[in-house]
Chains A and B, each alone.
Chain A
Amino acid sequence: MTNQSQGKEPTMTEITSGPGTSVAAPAPRWSRERILSLLLDQSTLIVFIAMLVIAMLLTDRFYTFENFTNIMRQCVPLGVVSLGLLFVILTGGIDLSVGSLMAIVSVVVALSIPTYGLFGALILGLLTGTFFGAISGVLVAYFRIAPFIATLAVMTIARGAGLIISKGQPEFINDDGFNDFGVASFLGLPTTVYVLLICFAVALFLYKKTVFGRLVISIGSNEVATRFAGIRVERYKFGVYVISGFACAVAGIIASTRTGVGSPILAIGFELDAIAAVVVGGASLAGGRGRVFNTIIGALILSVISNVMNLMNIPGYHQQVVKGIIIVLAVLLESLKLRLSSRS
């Protein structure tokens, strides 16, 4: 128990840096430290590449064009949701409602295509996801409910609402354009992959170039100091949940283009995969740290793992165990990185 009373507090950062001390040691271009720090910096990508190599050794069915398109197709909903979730996690929050939102959006789209047409149904679906995201945002930002609890409530509500409006039944979609989108290809790539690429570009732009991205990171790094800088922190915290809700809507629509069904039980437990993807991508659940590119890699890593295990005919129960272990390893690697970088 140290008491924080008066007195000269020891300051840990009493480094009196002279002018240009940090440029004083021009490291050789490929010094050991530099290579090490580069490796650590890109550890997510390296893990991914290592995984591809291991996959090749484990099964010869992995390196086929067909399998690659398959992985990409599977990866799209997870990638889109993880990108939205990344912004929530950057603020130090969490969104558990992502799977439920995908489900209710798929149901809303399926039910409204006959009445409002494809275009109207898509708009309605996107609005639904955004709306539920906004509810989480209001609860977290303005009513100051812990994100875990607020989004847990929204998760339950959205799942229930989806079951109510669909009467608990899957709703088949009779729209060829819609269903084709999920299986078609364009320029050799599945069409849905282009949606992921667009989402990636938008997320990267938000993260790197905008005031919004800058402040989201700042809030996650130190919410108090950000408020002390005169920022209306609540607005940005609200905003990230809206983004996450919108991303879930996109993912929900894409998921139902693949199956041709609006299902109230779509994506159960999906929040765990999405959180895992963001964390495997190196983001900190405490906020402030995380990258857009690595999040996509994180989603790819998870998709490749399940793909390889499917190819090897590993049963689903075993897959869960392996997935869990890989998440633990990823987080251990992150904390190891932090310790190494703080030592230097």
Chain B
Amino acid sequence: MHSPAIVIEGVKKHFGGVRALSDFNLKVEKGTIHAIVGENGAGKSTLMKILSGIYTRDAGRILLDGEEVHFETPQQSREKGVGIVHQELALSPDLSVAENIFLDDLGRGRPLVDWKAINARAGELLKSFGFPIDPRRRTGDLTVAYQQMVEITKSLARDVNILILDEPTAVLTTPEIDLLFDNLRRLKAKGVTILYISHRLEEIFRIADGITVVKDGVTVCDLDPATCSENDIITAMVGRELKSLFPEKLPPQGEPLFEIRRLTRRGVIEDIDLVVRKGEIVGLAGLIGSGRTEIAECIFGLARYQQGEMIKNGRKVSVAHPADAVAQGIGLVPENRKEQGAVLPMGIDANMTMSRLGGVSRFGVIRHGYEQTLTQRLREQLRIKLGKLSDPVMSLSGGNQQKVVLAKWLNVGCDFLVFDEPTRGVDVGAKSEIYNIIHRLAEEGKGLLVISSELPEVIGLCHRVYVMADGRIAGELTGDELSEERIMSLAIPKRSIQ
């Protein structure tokens, strides 16, 4: 009897307190293209990493061609014929195409490399997939689309019968996407099973034979692209109950606190207009790569922009360095807490006072006693759970680390704060506490801009939401207009010609 190429039953995966996958089910027939769709953070990438042996699952079964598998390492996954093309290409630009394709086994079991054979074999492979690429070319000289073909060929160089593509079109232009799709269809005709992860719905309708929707680590439903509509998918992706994580919204106080006018950063964001009022929590929604973080970088002086201006409290401000931003009372709680937010090996107290050491020192000499009093007060204000104030920030949980980053800005007295993914990697309890703090800051009349990929967070927390797509503001939603469906339909890029 023939069995499906991939069967996944009840797969679970936890990271500490965070559930990445809680019940994942999937069945894919051999020689088909199956799409997996879901919001950012729904668990798509985690599943992919489990299939490729980077993570191991906590529970559940995975069967490939009817045989149960349990991958501990990427090698085991490769041996079973699973190939993966990651969103970010992992090729060495200075090596030739053939070298990249056979990088893991250049000598084919022997210590010396037979270049002729390698090049010939790579050429054959490329030809058999219909990729018009010279195996001797330097990989870095190829366009991104061709590099991706190299990446696909690399995965297929070993006997691959399952190919997983993670957001393959994120880096491609329209004609290149057409080319990719032609190639995928050809592979499918050869009997390769393809898992296609994406959130670009119109592509899915073009290429997929089946669709599985993931939400919060659970597979919600299977849809048939021949009969369902885009709206069906969006509803399935976002339809969930809003938990009572969020405090009740208070009306903002009206006066504009921070404004951006016609901000353009070439190639990244274009013509952004945005205003945050006193006491207002404004959301910035959109898919990853839509330009949200790039706006934050401009506001905080981390990146230069070519055009536009920023106005704070009615006065034009120029911000060329984070120090300028801090001097203007602008704070950023960055996306990557461990690399950007806190100096992990340093003390909690030192991290809290870092941005305003002038306040705890005299003539450049730190007044330790005063610093202790001050940080103790911040600690109580934010209810940070810690052993000693001098312990390294590293010793705290994710949520408490985030509070230390916040304490830093409260100590400076910032009245405009930008939060980039404030609750990423934070457990639910700490999440609701962070929401409460954001809420309290708004109550005090501060302006808050919250960038988030989690739609319930954006809707539950914000008074008003700008939705971004392809570097532009695609729309603005307020009050009752705020729904996951509305946000998603604005956020998904309408890809025109070009």
Q: Residues of A at under 8 Å CB distance from B?
A: 1-11, 13-23, 209-212, 214-215, 217-218, 221-222, 224-232, 288-289
Kindly state whether residue B477 has any CB partner on chain A within 8 Å: no
**8 Å CB contact of A6 from B17, B55, B346, B453:** B453
**Contact A288-B397, Cβ < 8 Å, known A11-B18, A17-B385, A230-B326:** no
**8 Å CB contact of A9 from B322, B345, B425:** B425
Chain A residues with Cβ below 8 Å from B397 are: 13-17
**8 Å CB contact of A211 from B46, B321, B366:** B366
Kindly state whether residue B194 has any CB partner on chain A within 8 Å: no
**8 Å CB contact of B361 from A4, A211, A229:** A211
A-contact bits for B337-356, CB 8 A (1 contact / 0 none): 00111111110001000110
Chain B residues with Cβ below 8 Å from A7 are: 20, 40-41, 43-46
Kindly state whether residue B68 has any CB partner on chain A within 8 Å: no
Chain B residues with Cβ below 8 Å from A14 are: 15-18, 397-398, 427
**Contact A13-B394, Cβ < 8 Å, known A8-B20, A8-B41, A226-B354:** yes
Kindly state whether residue B401 has any CB partner on chain A within 8 Å: yes
**8 Å CB contact of A218 from B341, B350, B387, B412:** B350
Chain A residues with Cβ below 8 Å from B302 are: 228
Kindly state whether residue B400 has any CB partner on chain A within 8 Å: yes
C-alpha spacing A19/B19, complex, angstroms: 24
Chain B residues with Cβ below 8 Å from A15 are: 395-397
Q: Least Cβ distance of B433 to chain A in Å?
A: 12
Chain B residues with Cβ below 8 Å from A289 are: 345
C-alpha spacing A6/B425, complex, angstroms: 11
Contact B427 A228 (CB under 8 A): no
**8 Å CB contact of B345 from A13, A17, A211, A288:** A288
Contact A10 B16 (CB under 8 A): yes
**8 Å CB contact of A22 from B45, B55, B388, B400:** B388
Q: Which of A13, A22, A232 has the most CB of B within 10 A?
A: A13
Contact residues of B between 306 and 353, Cβ < 8 Å to A: 321-323, 325-327, 332, 334, 339-346, 350
C-alpha spacing A297/B325, complex, angstroms: 42
Q: Which of A8, A23, A222 has the most CB of B within 10 A?
A: A8
Contact A210 B366 (CB under 8 A): yes
C-alpha spacing A211/B408, complex, angstroms: 16
Contact B355 A8 (CB under 8 A): no
Chain A residues with Cβ below 8 Å from B366 are: 209-211, 214
Q: Least Cβ distance of A236 to chain B in Å?
A: 11
Kindly state whether residue B357 has any CB partner on chain A within 8 Å: yes
Contact B20 A226 (CB under 8 A): no
**Contact A228-B424, Cβ < 8 Å, known A14-B15, A211-B357, A218-B350:** no
Q: Least Cβ distance of B104 to chain A in Å?
A: 11
List 13 additional A-B contacts (Cβ < 8 Å) besides A2-B49, A229-B343, A231-B322: A3-B45, A5-B167, A14-B18, A14-B398, A15-B395, A16-B397, A17-B395, A211-B357, A211-B358, A221-B344, A228-B302, A230-B322, A288-B345
Contact B357 A228 (CB under 8 A): no
Contact residues of B between 1 and 23, Cβ < 8 Å to A: 15-20
Some 26 contacts from A to B, beta carbons below 8 A apart, are A2-B49, A7-B41, A7-B43, A8-B18, A8-B41, A10-B55, A13-B398, A16-B385, A17-B395, A19-B385, A22-B388, A22-B391, A211-B358, A211-B361, A215-B354, A221-B345, A222-B339, A228-B302, A228-B332, A228-B340, A229-B326, A229-B343, A229-B408, A230-B326, A231-B322, A232-B321
Chain B residues with Cβ below 8 Å from A229 are: 322, 326, 343, 354-355, 408
Q: Least Cβ distance of A101 to chain B in Å?
A: 25
Q: Which one of B85-93, B126-134, B182-190 contacts A?
A: B85-93
Q: Residues of B at under 8 Å CB distance from A?
A: 15-20, 40-41, 43-46, 49, 54-55, 86-88, 90, 166-167, 288, 300, 302, 321-323, 325-327, 332, 334, 339-346, 350, 354-355, 357-358, 361, 364-366, 385-388, 391, 394-398, 400-401, 408, 412, 424-425, 427, 453
Chain A residues with Cβ below 8 Å from B408 are: 229
C-alpha spacing A15/B391, complex, angstroms: 14
Chain A residues with Cβ below 8 Å from B391 are: 22
Contact A218 B18 (CB under 8 A): no
**8 Å CB contact of A11 from B16, B88, B343, B354:** B16
Q: Which of B346, B424, B427 has the most CB of A within 10 A?
A: B346
Which 4 residue pairs of A and B lie closest in terms of their CB atoms, listed nearest first?
A: A22-B387, A14-B16, A230-B326, A7-B45
Q: Least Cβ distance of A5 to chain B in Å?
A: 5
**Contact A218-B385, Cβ < 8 Å, known A8-B20, A13-B394, A230-B326:** no
Chain A residues with Cβ below 8 Å from B19 are: 8
C-alpha spacing A225/B427, complex, angstroms: 23
Contact B288 A5 (CB under 8 A): yes
Chain B residues with Cβ below 8 Å from A217 are: 346
Contact A9 B340 (CB under 8 A): no
Chain A residues with Cβ below 8 Å from B90 are: 1, 3
C-alpha spacing A48/B386, complex, angstroms: 36
Contact A2 B54 (CB under 8 A): yes
Q: Least Cβ distance of B259 to chain A in Å?
A: 21
Contact B323 A232 (CB under 8 A): yes
Chain A residues with Cβ below 8 Å from B355 are: 229-231
**Contact A1-B86, Cβ < 8 Å, known A7-B20, A224-B340:** yes
Q: Least Cβ distance of A258 to chain B in Å?
A: 34
Q: Least Cβ distance of B58 to chain A in Å?
A: 12
Contact A210 B364 (CB under 8 A): yes
C-alpha spacing A157/B300, complex, angstroms: 39
Question: Which B residue's beta carbon lies closest to that of A6?
Answer: B40
Q: Least Cβ distance of B138 to chain A in Å?
A: 20
Contact A5 B364 (CB under 8 A): no
**Contact A5-B385, Cβ < 8 Å, known A226-B354, A230-B325, A230-B355:** no
**Contact A215-B322, Cβ < 8 Å, known A7-B45, A18-B385:** no
